[in-house]
A = this chain, B = another copy of it.
Amino acid sequence: MGGDFAPACVVEGTADALREHPGRFAAVLVGREERIRDEIRKLPEDAQRLLDDGQRCSIVHAKDVIDMHDSPTAAVKSKKDSSIGVGLTLQRSNHADAFVSAGNTGAVLSASTLILGRLKHVGRPTIGALIPTAKRPCLLVDAGANVDCKPRHLFEFAVMGALYVKAMLGEANPKVGLLNIGEEDSKGNEAVQAAYKLLAGSPLNFKGNVEGRDVLKGDVDVIVCDGFVGNTLLKFGESIPSFFKTKFTALAAKSLKDKIIAGLARNSLRPILKELDYQEHGGVPILGVDGVSIIGHGRSTPKAIKNMIFRAEEMVTGMVHQQIEESLAAVQPSSDERPIPIHTRKHE
């Protein structure tokens, strides 16, 4: 029931996913049953059959709806029978392996943490977003879950992000960069400076600081930052295509010649701008919870939903969350060098 076009887009995207990869997964549509059935009836016959064969797809009723304006934590508590709550509980009780939603980001995040629980050694679950670069996509982590981060949290994001890239994109030894405002390790705020030390002393393939200007270069596979910066960068990047569209429209209005030029540029830019489009990337995974949970953009199209389902399936098959727990266990400090109070070290 989440997202601006729910449940229509969710139902249609699920049918598309089942059509593209029959037999790879079974879907459980969670939400107001009547509304879901209404949407199914609007689809072409072959899609209706896919969603109604009782084997590859089933419907679980959830009476409550958490909308985009609900306060996340309050809504998760007061609307226990929301599609988010019911869907995650299905996973908790082993009736599902993964959860996918285009609903209220904060609510999916806090319900996932609450219902699935945190993995061992995880201080804060995080969300990581794959962003396009001049080379391969790069994981920006945290992409908006945690706005105030301690050095230890940034370190955990790096470990989880590297493991995710390794498991999902097949990068054997992902290169990790720390987002900062300069190259030198003395740059940045206190949290980032202390995180630098933790990362430099870890077994991660840490490449040092990366600046805003390096993000699109694609020289690293994981960029670590707090959720305030990450979310701002992510949304800024997503807005580039519409910035160019506005500029083209203004250009086209000037003269016939400019109109032709704008048209040509618009067409040839399309594949590049498309890369910057969130729709292609299929949602952001929550890392650090004991299960698989993926959050999609509120404006997710059927295509985005389909991609999220495929990604969820890959995370289950790749046993990403089990591997994250092992990764974090391997980098735990011995008891005499606990890094938790690292932010007090500045007076050393």
Contacts and interface: CB of A to CB of B under 8 A. Distances in A.
A312 interface: no
Given A134-B246, A188-B147, A189-B147, A213 B228 contact: no
18 contacts: A134-B246, A144-B181, A181-B231, A188-B228, A192-B228, A212-B233, A212-B237, A212-B238, A216-B236, A217-B239, A225-B232, A228-B229, A244-B269, A247-B272, A247-B275, A251-B271, A261-B267, A264-B264
A144 B188 CA distance: 10
Contacts of A242: 216
B215 A181 contact: no
A20 interface: no
Contact of A213 (B225, B239, B265): B239
A190 B190 CA distance: 16
Contact of A233 (B216, B233, B251): B233
Contacts of A134: 243, 246-247
Given A190-B148, A213-B238, A217-B239, A181 B227 contact: yes
A202 interface: no
Interface string A196-236: 00000000000000011111110000000101110111111
A71 interface: yes
Given A189-B228, A232-B233, 15 more contacts: A148-B189, A188-B228, A192-B228, A211-B231, A213-B239, A214-B239, A215-B236, A216-B240, A217-B239, A232-B232, A244-B272, A247-B275, A261-B267, A264-B264, A264-B265
Does more than half of chain A's interface fall in helix, strand or loop, or is it mixed?
helix
A101 to B, nearest CB: 18
Nearest to A144: B181
B268 A264 contact: yes
A324 interface: no
| Most B-side CB within 10 Å, residue of A211, A227, A232 | A232
Contacts of A236: 212-213, 215-216, 233, 236-237
A144 B271 CA distance: 33
B71 A147 contact: no
Contacts of A147: 181, 188-189
Given A134-B247, A181-B144, A251-B271, A239 B216 contact: yes
Nearest to A230: B181
A309 interface: no
A268 B265 contact: yes
Interface in A255-277: 261-262, 264-265, 267-269, 271-272, 275
